[in-house]
Structure 1
Amino acid sequence: MSIETMGLRESKKRETRQSISDHATRLFLEHGFEDTTIAEIAAAARVAKKTVTNYFPHKEDLAFDHHEEFVASLADAVRSRAPGESALAALRRVFTASIEAHDPVAGFAGPDFVQMIAKSPTLTNRLRDLHDLREEALEGVLADATGAEPGGIAPRAAAALLGTAHRVLFGRIQELTLAGEDDARIAAVVSGAAEQVFDLLEPALGGYATA
């Protein structure tokens, strides 16, 4: 198989995946997550049900299309920190940039989408699971960065503190979105909140896991 053929095949896969995701999101917003079936999504995207589940093994993955990026986000921020930069400083810098960019991974998903999550017990539970998985991924990177033993308490505690900080800020973005604030106002409010949150962590973690 030529490189060109492989490239076309991968491009087609990305298009199919995006089409399924777009149709699923539309149906979820129109009818609610719980009341939308995989069969309806497949019909709307003009693919087989098996194709949908091949791309998205779990129905929740159709709603949280960026879940892999979300889970890896904190770990990636620490992994790519600059020389002399601590884990906390890297996470503060990356979070500030995500707020300025109104990044969906940070929580900027729009009122309709946030309302959909709030109304769905399944999605609310899945979001909680994703936060937990993100914290676990961060713990692994912190353990590697500090040379800690597997299961060491220090990276676990640090990941819990840093993960909770991001969880709280994510929740604040959702609260403001549901309250009807626009993205610019949300960014301004959460930017100030983030300064307070990260400042609280500075005495304990300011020098932790410095590159």
Structure 2
Amino acid sequence: MGLRETKKQRTRKHISDLARDLFIERGYANVTVAEIAEKAEVAVTTLFNYFPTKESIIFDREDDIDSEIIDCIRNRKKGQSILDSLHEYFLASNLINPPNKKVFSEFIKLLRSSPELSTYFRGIWGKYESTLAKEIRNDSGTNKIESECMAKLILEGVSFACNSASPRDALNLTFKVLKNGWNK
């Protein structure tokens, strides 16, 4: 990656982190895009070059995660199942192992406290479901409804794990049930 691209990524992350901290501190509705731009020392138009909406500002990894899910399936080890590959990916991800648990916890509270952010996040999660379903279908040859069902179950399990008191245990249980079934 070139210097220009590195600088763009750094600026994007700086804006996103700064906005997240302001939203956590003061509440999503109480922070304007102009304030974020001012604190980040960029013009509002520059901020919108990086992020199309106010909601998108704190979801700076949105496209990366979508790509990583595809790569996880396409580049899995020979003989490794899709479920095992996704389990491994999510276990290592920042969703289950956030670098800063306190900030992650505050971020989750922020999402829950803001209808706009909750709605935006559900849209992102829906996009991930579509991407995952398509990749499962292409890779495994399953029909449309089965691949959509699996994608939904996988990502709802990940969401459940993220909100669990023990994310790793919840994620492991999710994939165990998905892989072996639930026969009670």
What is the TM-score with the length of structure 1 in the denominator? Answer: 0.73
Q: Does 1:158 align with 2:147?
A: yes
Q: Distance in 2 between matches of 1:117 and 1:93?
A: 26
Q: How many residue pairs were aligned?
A: 180
> Cα–Cα, structure 1 residues 72 and 15, in superposed 2: closer, same or farther, change >3 Å?
closer
Written as runs of structure 1 = structure 2, the 5 A alignment for 1:74-113 is 74-98=69-93, 102-103=97-98, 110-113=104-107
Distance 1:157 1:147, change over 3 A: closer
Question: One-letter code of the match for 1:43?
Answer: E
Distance 1:55 1:123 in 2: 18
Preserved CA contact (<8 Å) 2:28 2:110: yes
Give the match for residue 135 of structure 2: 141
CA RMSD in angstroms comes to: 2.7
5 Å-filtered alignment, 1:42-121, equals: 42-98=37-93, 102-103=97-98, 110-121=104-115
- Structure 1 Cα separation of the partners of residues 56 and 98 of structure 2: 18
Q: Which runs of 5+ in 1 are unaligned?
A: 1-5, 149-153, 177-188, 205-211
**Aligned AA (2:83):** L
Whether 1:173 aligns to 2:150 is no
Matched, 1:37 2:14: no
Shift of 1:108: 8.7
Question: Is this contact kept in 2: 1:108–1:173, CA < 8 A?
Answer: no
Alpha-carbon separation, structure 2, partners of 1:98 and 1:19: 21
Letter in 2 for 1:92: H
The residue aligned with 2:177 is 200
Instruction: Please list every run of 5 or more consecutive structure 2 residues that lacks an aligned counterpart in the other structure.
Output: none
Contact 2:12 2:60 in 1 (8 A): no
Give the Cα separation in 2 of the matches to 1:74 and 1:163: 14
Cα distance in 1 for residues equivalent to 2:174 and 2:102? 19
Distance 2:32 2:26 in 1: 10
Higher Rg: 1
- 1:175, distance to aligned residue in structure 2 (A): 4.7
- State the TM-score, normalizing by the size of structure 2: 0.82
TM superposition shift of 1:155: 4.3
Higher relative contact order (CA 8 A, sep 6+): 1
Q: Secondary structure at the match of 2:80?
A: coil
